[in-house]
Amino acid sequence: MTRILFLCVSNSARSQMAEGLARHLLGENAEVMSAGSQPSQVNLHAIAAMAEIGIDISQQQSQSVDTIDPAAIDMVVTLCAEEVCPILPGKVKRLHWPISDPASGTGDRSSEENLEQFRIARDQIKARIAVLSGLLDIPPSPSAEEFHGSIRVQDLPGSVRFYAWLLNTWPKEWTHRYATFICNDLNLNFVLVVSDGKELHHDTLYHLGIGVADRGAVIAAYHQAVAFGAPIEKPPRTTWKGTPLHELWLTDPDGTLIEIYARLTNAELAHKPADELPEFLVPNTGPDAV
């Protein structure tokens, strides 16, 4: 369980809404509290904005950051935008989410206009906590040794010039359809592909690639992906046509293809089959699997 402290100045609006949202969204993955450098009381508009989404913070209390034991906190999230945020000393993970104070200037607005400012702050905080909720319990992931990415471009000459400048290297090769950059210092293989409306082979273009050490690492990545719940596009296999690779294909939540791959050793290349058909690396995952 991660112990999270939300901080703002008065501990009346942003940090109070964050506390209520985090307790609701993070559940048993986190122990949540909030505090401020000049604590006051929970703002009525904050209570109303949270009640609109079914979360009751009316019983929460403002407290001073000076009352918090740093040893009891794993993560501090500061929410100040224009003000100087309070500080909790100690060795903790620190995040800063600058959210404009919805209580600022309330005297110049109607009650409904004030409430709308609190809704905006509430929704911004909620979106950030929704991302945080997926980061608190990430299991082990593949150990990457290099990365491959490809993007579509309208102007290949202009884009090649730009990325040659940005990456400080000429492309390794180029055609009328694509250009490939190899950046050894970044462990990056980067491809620009002309966006001309033609059908392109999705196994080799428009994806993110992660290079791992060897065949065993690809197999291990498969089991890690299954445990994580990542969709498997193609199970681990050794392919011989084109660039021989041990590879695993996943899809991200938007359907973007992710290739996890390892290059074959010379000894492995020596065993290339005559028919060059893929070899599936995990039992019962090939095309004939039941």
pLDDT at 203: 46
Per-residue pLDDT of the chain (290 residues; tens, 9 = 90+): 899 999 999 999 999 999 999 999 999 999 999 999 999 999 999 999 999 999 999 999 999 999 999 999 999 999 999 888 899 998 999 999 999 999 987 777 898 999 999 999 999 999 999 999 999 988 889 888 888 888 888 889 999 998 898 888 999 999 888 899 998 888 888 888 887 666 555 444 567 789 999 999 999 999 999 999 999 999 999 999 888 999 999 988 877 788 999 999 999 999 999 999 999 999 999 877 65
DSSP structural state of residue 174: E
Which residues lie closer than 8 Å to 73 by C-beta, 6 or more apart? 3, 4, 5, 88, 90, 92
Query: So what's the pLDDT on residue 148?
Result: 83
The active-site residue, picked from 80, 88, 194, 217, is: 80
Single pTM value for the model: 0.77
Q: Annotated catalytic residue: which of 4, 5, 7, 8?
A: 8
Give pLDDT, residue 83.
85
Q: What is the pLDDT at residue 290?
A: 53
- Which pLDDT score, from 0 to 100, does residue 198 have? 61
DSSP string, 133-160: HTTTT-------SEEEEEEEES-HHHHH
Count the Cβ atoms, other than its own, within 10 Å of residue 123.
Answer: 14
Residue recorded with tokens 């490809």: 150
Task: Give yes or no: 85 in active site.
Answer: yes
- Verify whether residue 80 is a known catalytic residue: yes
Closest by CA position to 236, among listed 256, 211, 217, 257:
217
Catalytic residue among 85, 88, 257, 260: 85
Cα–chain-centroid distance for residue 160? 28
Q: Is 183 a catalytic residue?
A: no
Task: Using alpha carbons only, give the angle 72, 75, 81 rounded to the nearest 5 degrees.
Answer: 125
Using alpha carbons only, give the angle 257, 262, 267 rounded to the nearest 5 degrees: 150
Task: Give the CA distances from residue 73 to residues 17, 105, 124, 277, in Å, rounded to whole numbers and listed in that order.
Answer: 19, 33, 23, 55
94 vs 79: CA distance, rounded Å: 11
Question: Backbone dihedral region of 131: left (phi > 0), alpha (psi from -120 to 50 degrees) or beta?
Answer: alpha
Reading the block at residue 185, the tokens are 């210092």
Q: How many residues does the chain have?
A: 290
